[in-house]
Structure 1
Amino acid sequence: MPKKKIKVLFFIYFLGSGGAGRTFLNILNNIDRNRFEPILVTCNYEGNYESYLNQDIKFVKLPTKRLRSAIIPLAKLIRNEHPQVVFSTIPNYNVIAIVARLLSFTKARNVVREAAFLGQNKKENLKLKLYGLFYRFSKRVVALSNGVKQNLMDKYDVNPNKIDVIYNPVELDHIRGSTGIEQIPEEYKRIYQGDAQVIVTAGRLVREKDHPTLLKAFKKVVETKKAKLVILGEGPLQDELENLASQLGISENVYFAGFQTNPYAFLQQSDLFTLTSKNEGFGHVIVEALAVGTPVVTTNCKPGAEEILENGHYGTITPVGDERQLADAIIEALSKSQDDRDTIIQKGLSRANEFDAQEIVKQYEQVFEKTLK
Structure 2
Amino acid sequence: MGKINVLFFIYQMGGGGAARTLLNIMNNLDRERFSVTLVTLNFEGSYEGEVEEDIRFIKLETKRLSRSIFSLARIIKQENIDLVFSTIPRVNTIAIVANRLSFSKAKNVVREADNLGGSFVVNLQLLGFGAVYKLAHQIVSLSEGVKENLVRRYKIRGSRIQVIYNPVDLQRISDKMDHGIMEPKHKELFHTDDKVIITAGRLVPQKDQRTLLQAFAKVNEQTKSKLVLLGEGPLKEELQQEAARLEVADRVHFLGFQSNPYVYFKHADVFVLSSIHEGFSHVIAEALATGTPVVSTNCKSGPEEVLDKGKYGFLCEVGDVDEMASKIQHVLTLSPEQRASLIERGLERVQDFDAKQIVKQYETLFLHTLKRS
CA contact (8 A) 1:89 1:112 kept: yes
Q: Which residue of 1 aligns with 2:335?
A: 337
Q: Which residue of 1 aligns with 2:266?
A: 268
Q: Which residue of 2 aligns with 1:32?
A: 30
1:157-212: per-residue Cα shift (whole Å, max 9, x none)?
11222211011101101112222596211110010112001000001000000001
CA contact (8 A) 1:273 1:294 kept: yes
Q: Which residue of 2 aligns with 1:18?
A: 16
CA contact (8 A) 1:181 1:189 kept: no
TM-aligned CA deviation for residue 25 of structure 1:
0.5
Q: 1:246 aligns with which of 244, 247, 268?
A: 244
Q: Which residue of 2 aligns with 1:294?
A: 292
Q: Which residue of 2 aligns with 1:163?
A: 161
1:24-43: per-residue Cα shift (whole Å, max 9, x none)?
11011000000111100001
Q: Once structures 1 and 2 are overlaid, which stretch shifts more, 342-351 or 153-162?
A: 153-162
**1:208-227 map, 5 Å:** 208-227=206-225
| Matches of 2:85 and 2:160, distance apart in 1 | 15
Q: 2:123 aligns with which of 122, 125, 138?
A: 125
Q: Output the amino acid matched with 1:190.
A: E
Aligned residue pairs total 371
TM-aligned CA deviation for residue 233 of structure 1:
0.5
Percent identity over the alignment? Answer: 51
Q: Secondary structure at the match of 1:40?
A: strand
Q: TM-score, normalised by structure 2?
A: 0.98
Q: Secondary structure at the match of 1:330?
A: helix
**1:172-187 map, 5 Å:** 172-180=170-178, 183-187=181-185
Q: Secondary structure at the match of 1:183?
A: coil
Q: Secondary structure at the match of 1:60?
A: strand
Q: Output the amino acid matched with 2:63.
A: K
Q: Which residue of 2 aligns with 1:357?
A: 355
Unaligned runs of 5+ in 1: none
Is 1:323 matched with 2:321? yes
| Matches of 1:176 and 1:250, distance apart in 2 | 33
TM-aligned CA deviation for residue 367 of structure 1:
1.0
TM-aligned CA deviation for residue 5 of structure 1:
1.1
TM-aligned CA deviation for residue 247 of structure 1:
0.9
| Matches of 1:296 and 1:129, distance apart in 2 | 35
Q: Which residue of 2 aligns with 1:43?
A: 41
TM-aligned CA deviation for residue 141 of structure 1:
0.2
**1:54-93 map, 5 Å:** 54-93=52-91
1:19-61: per-residue Cα shift (whole Å, max 9, x none)?
0000011011000000111100001111100000110111111
TM-aligned CA deviation for residue 328 of structure 1:
0.9
CA contact (8 A) 2:113 2:279 kept: yes
Change over 3 Å in CA distance of 1:112–1:182 after alignment to 2: closer
| Matches of 1:194 and 1:210, distance apart in 2 | 27
Q: Output the amino acid matched with 2:198.
A: V
Q: 2:111 aligns with which of 105, 110, 113?
A: 113
Q: What is the alpha-carbon root mean square deviation over aligned residues?
A: 0.9
CA contact (8 A) 2:134 2:156 kept: yes
| Matches of 2:49 and 2:134, distance apart in 1 | 35
CA contact (8 A) 1:5 1:37 kept: yes
Change over 3 Å in CA distance of 1:96–1:200 after alignment to 2: same
**1:177-216 map, 5 Å:** 177-180=175-178, 183-216=181-214
Q: Output the amino acid matched with 1:26.
A: N
CA contact (8 A) 2:140 2:161 kept: yes
Q: Output the amino acid matched with 2:79.
A: E
| Matches of 1:301 and 1:31, distance apart in 2 | 31
| Matches of 1:348 and 1:182, distance apart in 2 | 22
| Matches of 1:364 and 1:339, distance apart in 2 | 38
| Matches of 1:83 and 1:159, distance apart in 2 | 27
| Matches of 2:259 and 2:66, distance apart in 1 | 29
Q: Output the amino acid matched with 2:216.
A: F
CA contact (8 A) 1:169 1:357 kept: yes
Q: Which residue of 2 aligns with 1:281?
A: 279
Q: Output the amino acid matched with 1:285.
A: V
CA contact (8 A) 1:181 1:269 kept: no
Q: Secondary structure at the match of 1:240?
A: helix
Q: Secondary structure at the match of 1:201?
A: strand
| Matches of 2:241 and 2:174, distance apart in 1 | 35
Q: Secondary structure at the match of 1:24?
A: helix
CA contact (8 A) 2:215 2:322 kept: yes
| Matches of 2:196 and 2:178, distance apart in 1 | 15
Unaligned runs of 5+ in 2: none
| Matches of 2:67 and 2:368, distance apart in 1 | 31
CA contact (8 A) 1:179 1:269 kept: no
| Matches of 2:180 and 2:89, distance apart in 1 | 39
